[in-house]
């Protein structure tokens, strides 16, 4: 049988080495493979299938919209687009704001930056982002991201981007020994960067408020401190909620955990917006930002902005999150997940730190030595043993997400408790199998 490797160039891989499974269907947190096997999805594929696979409500909505109207140009109106914009503004409490629809996360971030620059009246205004961040793999997305894989493909300075160290308290760039201090100093570093560049030259700060594929989970004090620092300096704050929204971090939008103290000026969405069942991204503008651009020409556009099929899917997805109480469910199961992982940490010295757990998103960072925190492999490489563990898990019917030394646990919010418990038990056994010597050494 021919392989997809012979005809498709896949993302983030060496083409000649591609060998991932082929998926033919799914239900709930399960994927069905071409050979008929079922695999429990512990990463929501790309941390995006928050509603699980083939959620019937979203599938029906796409079908119904397709029979009515598949497409209308982005310049004209479309009923599901308007309804979706109104729902998003209401959910975020951004009354008087506006929504700009895109196709995915990267272009949402690009457009958020353009809107922020327009609203700041600084067409070339500086954008502050952080190291170890990910905002997309378009060219501008790469310039915005502090991602080891793409950083060298785009000259950040040429794009008007400056990066600061992240609030990574396990390996704090500021030498802090507590999470709170690291969060405080990381937020202060943003303030210092704005002051050093001159606030009149800065347009926006763009950051992930919680979950991110680079494995940073900011200490609780970070985001409110960032909000204060940016507001005091008249610089827009953009929350990249592409991964963290729609229950992933236990709220509709992760910043809401901090209440008004966390409210950004703009936020970007994608992934869970449609439960990933059809591509859609969005930039949500506060009333203040919308007011600043109301009378000005916005020179941007994509043929498929606010595609009716995608908007209808997103409306159904929002109904499913609400009616199935999935945001609350994620918060409750996220706390259980964190507790379970902490129990694993007490048994497996290879686990250096467990973080996250505000919703169904947790990071397990693996080390060779807990005392020195020496990583299992230098970031962003992955150790052969971890790669083998992931292959074994897949062969046994569980797909875990990973980056470098990090396991990223982000199952669909519809996962059942016994399925979650089963996956953690399997991880426990696999850690014992692949990292036994470390355990023995530490106990000795």
Ligand X SMILES: Cc1ncc(COP(=O)(O)O)c(C=O)c1O
Contact positions toward ligand X, by CB under 6 A?
Answer: 46, 104-106, 109, 134-136, 208, 212-213, 240, 242-243, 270
- CA 117-120-123 angle, to 5 degrees, is 40
Is residue 395 classed as helix, strand or coil in its secondary structure? helix
User: Which C-beta is closer to ligand X: that of 262 or that of 349?
Assistant: 262
Give me the residue whose beta carbon is nearest to ligand X. Answer: 105
Residue count of the chain, please give it. Answer: 444
In the complex, least distance from residue 424 CB atom to ligand X, rounded to whole angstroms = 24
User: Which C-beta is closer to ligand X: that of 288 or that of 302?
Assistant: 302
User: Which C-beta is closer to ligand X: that of 26 or that of 212?
Assistant: 212
User: Which C-beta is closer to ligand X: that of 267 or that of 341?
Assistant: 267
What number of other Cβ atoms are within 10 A of residue 416's Cβ?
12
User: Which C-beta is closer to ligand X: that of 309 or that of 344?
Assistant: 309
* 414 prior amide bond cis, ω within 30: no
Exposed (0-12), middle (13-18) or buried (19+): which is 16, by Cβ within 10 Å?
exposed
* Of 251, 188, 262, nearest in space to 224 by CA: 262
In the complex, least distance from residue 355 CB atom to ligand X, rounded to whole angstroms = 16
**CA separation, residue 224 to residues 6, 185, 206, 258 (Å):** 49, 13, 14, 7
In the complex, least distance from residue 213 CB atom to ligand X, rounded to whole angstroms = 5
Sign of the C-alpha dihedral computed for residues 266, 268, 274 and 278 taken in this order:
positive
In the complex, least distance from residue 44 CB atom to ligand X, rounded to whole angstroms = 11
Rounded CA separation 422/410 (Å)? 15
Rounded CA separation 373/359 (Å)? 26
In the complex, least distance from residue 411 CB atom to ligand X, rounded to whole angstroms = 16
User: Which C-beta is closer to ligand X: that of 213 or that of 383?
Assistant: 213
In the complex, least distance from residue 139 CB atom to ligand X, rounded to whole angstroms = 12
């Amino acid at each position: 049988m021919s392989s997809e490797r012979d005809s498709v160039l896949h993302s983030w891989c060496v083409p000649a080495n591609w060998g991932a499974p082929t998926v033919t269907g799914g239900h709930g947190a399960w994927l069905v493979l071409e050979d008929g096997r079922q695999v429990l999805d512990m990463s929501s594929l790309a941390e995006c299938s928050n509603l699980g696979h083939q959620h019937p409500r979203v599938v029906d909505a796409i079908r119904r919209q397709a029979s009515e109207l598949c497409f209308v140009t982005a310049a004209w109106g479309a009923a599901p687009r308007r309804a979706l914009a109104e729902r998003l503004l209401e959910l975020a409490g951004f009354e008087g704001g506006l929504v700009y629809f895109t196709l995915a996360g990267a272009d949402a971030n690009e457009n958020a930056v353009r809107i922020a620059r327009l609203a700041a009246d600084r067409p070339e205004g500086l954008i502050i982002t952080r190291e170890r961040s990910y905002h997309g793999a378009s060219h501008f997305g790469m310039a915005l991201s502090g991602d080891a894989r793409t950083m060298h493909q785009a000259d950040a300075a040429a794009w008007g981007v400056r990066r600061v160290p992240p609030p990574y308290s396990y390996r704090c760039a500021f030498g802090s020994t507590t999470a709170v201090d690291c969060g405080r100093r990381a937020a202060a570093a943003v303030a210092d960067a704005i002051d050093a560049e001159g606030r009149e030259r800065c347009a926006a700060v763009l950051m992930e408020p919680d979950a991110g594929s680079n494995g940073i989970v900011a200490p609780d004090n970070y985001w409110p401190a960032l909000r204060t620092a940016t507001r005091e300096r008249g610089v827009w704050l953009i929350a990249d909620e592409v991964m963290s929204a729609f229950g992933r971090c236990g709220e509709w939008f992760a910043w809401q955990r901090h209440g008004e103290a966390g409210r950004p000026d703009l936020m970007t969405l994608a992934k869970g917006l449609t439960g990933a069942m059809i591509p859609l991204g969005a930039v949500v503008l506060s009333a203040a930002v919308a007011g600043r651009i109301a009378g000005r020409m916005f020179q941007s556009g994509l043929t498929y902005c606010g595609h009716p099929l995608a908007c209808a899917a997103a409306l159904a997805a929002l109904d499913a999150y609400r009616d199935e109480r999935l945001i609350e469910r994620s918060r409750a199961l996220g706390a259980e997940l964190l507790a379970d992982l902490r129990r694993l940490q007490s048994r497996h010295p290879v686990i250096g730190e467990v973080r996250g757990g505000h919703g169904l998103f947790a990071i397990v960072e693996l080390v060779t030595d807990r005392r020195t925190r020496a990583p299992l492999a230098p970031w962003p490489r992955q150790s052969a043993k971890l790669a083998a563990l992931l292959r074994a898990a897949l062969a046994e019917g569980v797909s875990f997400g990973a980056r470098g030394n990090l396991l990223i646990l982000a199952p669909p919010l519809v996962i059942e408790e016994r399925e979650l418990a089963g996956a953690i038990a399997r991880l426990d056994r696999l850690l014992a199998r692949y990292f036994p010597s470390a355990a023995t050494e530490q106990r000795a």
